[in-house]
Amino acid sequence: MPAYDSIEYFTTNLPAAEGDFVCTLPDFPNVTIERKTFRGGPSDGVELFVLSNGSLSVYVMPTRGMGIWKVEVKQRNESVRVGWNSPVPFPVNPRNVPLDQPDGLGWLRGFNEFVARCGLESNGAPEFNANGTLRFGLHGRIQNTPAFSVRLEADAEKKEVRLTGRMFEGRLFFNTLELESTLTVPFEGASFRVDDVVKNQAARPAEIELLYHVNTGNPVADGGARMEIPFERLVPRCPWAAKNLETVAELHAPVTGEPEMCYYYELAADADGNTQTFLRNAAGDFGVTLAFSRKEFPFFCQWKAQHAAQDGYVTGMEPCINFPNSRAFEHAHGRVAVLEPNSSRHFGITFRFSTTPEQVAASSAAVAQLQASVAAPVVESQPNPDWCE
């Protein structure tokens, strides 16, 4: 039986819901849809959809909160893997992720996605009660919440494939939230989009936090790569980040044992509130753009973990509605959002991939144009106590 209560296929040639399959669309042979379930080990029961259009393949896991494991992008005659080599080498079924581990770090036992959501009740650093017991674990529960409903649509008119999953996060006397996530892959081109809607199904207000952990490692992120982020305000999160502020945009080769570092931002945007960030490789012929609205994501976090490759060399571009501090700290500083009863909030990100030097130059120029619109960007030299715990 399926792992959720319903699956619908809106295209008549698609197979029945149960079982693994691979299919193509008759009129669009470059578009393929694959569905399979991992068997054995920590991955047992994880369901994976692979949506491909000839230019890219997106690997999404309804079992893991609609997280995107990786993306493979065609460049010339080869495929570039966009993701990272986590010390957790395979997708982990949420039942094998100890979110209530006493130190609050159990979330890391399943973390290996290119796109992982952090929330909904909380995200950021673990938080503990006065007696030392865990109150909120690292990065919340939604990434380890399986979809209870999945819908796959192939739309010949709009020329796109859409995979929609619905996750529920709630408990008696606390939040009653639903996240509906739709992944849209066009029939052609090296891009895709994620549109999420968080709904408060309760009769009372709900407090939420949300951050999108978008993680890239080798071969895209490595020594000589750059992360281009247009900003109005930039703050290093810790003294180590402050010490490395002059090289905030640059990535260096792996250094065994180097501590991670984060930087917090208010981004520059155009007149409509739209912004984008860009990660380019050292050769200048491949890049990843995240495009989104600052109205939906008022803050941004840049993560750099430049330790040994086998320890998980990675950098993160993280649109967010709060900074990844403890929930109590964010609440005290007014960054925990409130959803009124029966209301919802939309969050959308477009992912675009540059596969030629010309496309990389154009993507870089778009970010530079946003930065040029800021007359006096603020760079703080030390952690700010209003932003950094």
Domains of the chain (ranges, CATH numbers)? 6-379 (2.70.98.10)
- Closest to 71 (Cα-Cα) out of 194, 198, 254: 194
**Distance between CA atoms of 345 and 79, rounded to whole angstroms?**
36
CA-to-CA distance for 366 and 230, rounded, in angstroms?
10
pTM above 0.85, yes or no: yes
Q: Where are the alpha helices (DSSP H) in the chain?
A: 239-243, 327-332, 357-372
- Name the β-bridge partners of 379: 234
| Cα 296 to chain centroid, rounded | 15
Per-residue pLDDT of the chain (389 residues; tens, 9 = 90+): 234 444 454 443 444 445 688 888 888 899 999 999 999 999 999 999 999 999 999 999 999 999 999 999 999 989 999 999 999 999 999 999 999 999 999 999 999 999 999 999 999 999 999 999 999 999 999 999 999 999 998 888 899 999 999 999 999 999 999 999 999 999 999 999 999 999 999 999 999 999 999 999 999 999 999 999 999 999 999 999 999 999 999 999 999 999 999 999 999 999 999 999 999 999 999 999 999 999 999 999 999 999 999 999 999 999 999 999 999 999 999 999 999 999 999 999 999 999 999 999 999 999 999 999 999 999 999 999 999 99
Q: Quick check: 251 and 272 in contact, CB under 8 A?
A: no
**Using CA atoms, how far apart are residues 143 and 64, in angstroms rounded to an integer?**
6
Tokens of 4: 């959720």
257: left (phi over 0), alpha (psi -120 to 50) or beta: left
CA torsion 330→332→334→338, rounded to 10°? 80
